[in-house]
Chain A
Amino acid sequence: MSTRLGCAVLLVTLAGCATTDRVILLPDDNTGKVGKINVVGRDGDELLLDSAYGEARTGTGKVRSDTLDSDAVRKEFGKELAALPPRPKSFLLYFITDSDELTPESRALLPAILDEVGKRPAPEVVVTGHTDRVGSVEHNDKLSLARAEAVRDQLAALGIDKAHILVAGRGEREPLVPTDDDVAEPKNRRVEIEVR
């Protein structure tokens, strides 16, 4: 290998090391809440990002931090932010007690769900059943899935392609109203429709 080529390889390698990777934490688009990201650099040093527009830079040496603002982020990451898929939209459906019939209020939401599906590219509908804490975890898993499947069939009957409807049963894991075990709570017996 010629010395010149050797030098070129060395330079490219050095240049590769000298580049910087960056991560910038953004406030939630809907709520303004800010999450957290734990950044681990090459040498194993760590930095926790937990404020809006907080930035961590990694490359050679320690992780460095900075704070940007929304204008700078929009300018530098405008293309990426514009390409984000539409945010999922959720609807809650309730049933008339001891039936698989929707309450009149929930039935009235169906046109809005269909409308939302029609607006989206490659739409998917995720139907997730939830129960209260009466009965065992296993029983509630089955019950919540059965409820979700019942709603899926109703949505399919309205013309949504069944291939694009996903069902899930969350059982009693995600109550809207936290309760002790074996407490009946109608607000927790619901089906969530997420259009995405």
Chain B
Amino acid sequence: MNQRKQPGHSVFRYFLLGAVFAAFCASADPEVAGIFKSVEGSVTITRGSSSLPAQVGLPVYQADRVITGPDGRAGITFEDSALLSLGPSANLSIDRFAFDTTTHDGAFEITLAKGKLAVVSGKIAKHQQDAMKVRTPSSILGVRGTEFVVEVGGSQ
């Protein structure tokens, strides 16, 4: 590459960099992490400062939080075909979700703050050991497959 310094050149380069960055931001549509397949009772998705009621067919994204009421239950199928369900009075956040459909590289990290969860892990966990993680207030679970249940705040 040409190493000569030209005054106008670097300004142009910054401009270009800015333009590329802006284009990247504009095109960075959030990728769907999963789809609700079952919803019963009161189930709410919290996204940033807004919240909306969950419905069968609605997507969930990275950084969403799913909260079920005392009568609520929900089931979500993720893009890597992992299955997840929440029972009543649960609080789950999707901390990180990324999945490459060609290589199956990815990251799937969730935190259960409250309630109970059932999981059938999918292609991310199958491809890479510990790429799927479940956090609870007192543990980090490195998932190497496949089916399990989690409860937060149970009695001794």
A interface vs B, CB < 8 Å? 16, 18-29, 33, 35-42, 49, 56, 58-60, 63, 73, 76-77, 79-88, 120-122, 124, 126, 128, 141, 166, 168-171, 173, 194, 196
Set A18, A88, A169: member contacting B81, Cβ < 8 A: A88
Q: Which residue, A37, A77, A194, has most C-beta atoms of chain B within 10 A?
A: A37
B147 A35 Cβ-Cβ under 8 A: yes
A23 B81 Cβ-Cβ under 8 A: no
Give me the 10 closest cross-chain CB pairs, A-B, nearest first: A35-B145, A85-B37, A168-B101, A38-B142, A83-B85, A122-B57, A36-B144, A58-B139, A80-B118, A21-B136
Q: Using CB atoms, name the residue of chain B closest to A77.
A: B149
CA distance A144 to B77 in the complex (A): 24
CA distance A22 to B85 in the complex (A): 16
Chain A residues with CB under 8 A of B37? 85-86, 120-122
Set B130, B139, B147, B154: member contacting A28, Cβ < 8 A: B147
B155 within 8 A of A: yes
B148 A20 Cβ-Cβ under 8 A: no
CA distance A88 to B77 in the complex (A): 9
A25 B147 Cβ-Cβ under 8 A: yes
Taking the nearest CB of chain A, how far is it from the CB of B16, in angstroms? 28
A21 B151 Cβ-Cβ under 8 A: yes
CA distance A28 to B84 in the complex (A): 14
A63 B139 Cβ-Cβ under 8 A: yes
B141 within 8 A of A: yes
Chain B residues with CB under 8 A of A58? 136, 138-139
B interface SS class: strand
Chain B residues with CB under 8 A of A79? 73, 87-88, 116
B156 A26 Cβ-Cβ under 8 A: no
A85 B147 Cβ-Cβ under 8 A: no
Residues of B in contact (CB 8 Å), total 51
User: What sequence of 0s and 1s flags, for each residue 96-123 of chain B, a beta carbon within 8 Å of any chain A beta carbon?
Assistant: 0000011110000000000011101100
B interface vs A, CB < 8 Å? 35-38, 40, 56-57, 73-77, 81, 83-88, 101-104, 116-118, 120-121, 130, 134, 136-156
A21 B150 Cβ-Cβ under 8 A: yes
CA distance A20 to B117 in the complex (A): 15
A84 B138 Cβ-Cβ under 8 A: no
Q: Using CB atoms, name the residue of chain B closest to A170.
A: B102
Chain A residues with CB under 8 A of B144? 35-38
Known: A37-B142, A38-B144, A121-B37. A21 touches B153 (CB 8 A): yes
Known: A122-B37, A122-B57, A141-B102. A83 touches B118 (CB 8 A): yes
Chain A residues with CB under 8 A of B117? 80
B147 A168 Cβ-Cβ under 8 A: no
Taking the nearest CB of chain A, how far is it from the CB of B47, in angstroms? 19
Known: A85-B77, A124-B35, A168-B101. A77 touches B87 (CB 8 A): yes
Known: A80-B85, A84-B85. A33 touches B154 (CB 8 A): no
CA distance A171 to B152 in the complex (A): 41
Q: Using CB atoms, name the residue of chain A closest to B140.
A: A40
CA distance A81 to B146 in the complex (A): 14
A128 B101 Cβ-Cβ under 8 A: yes
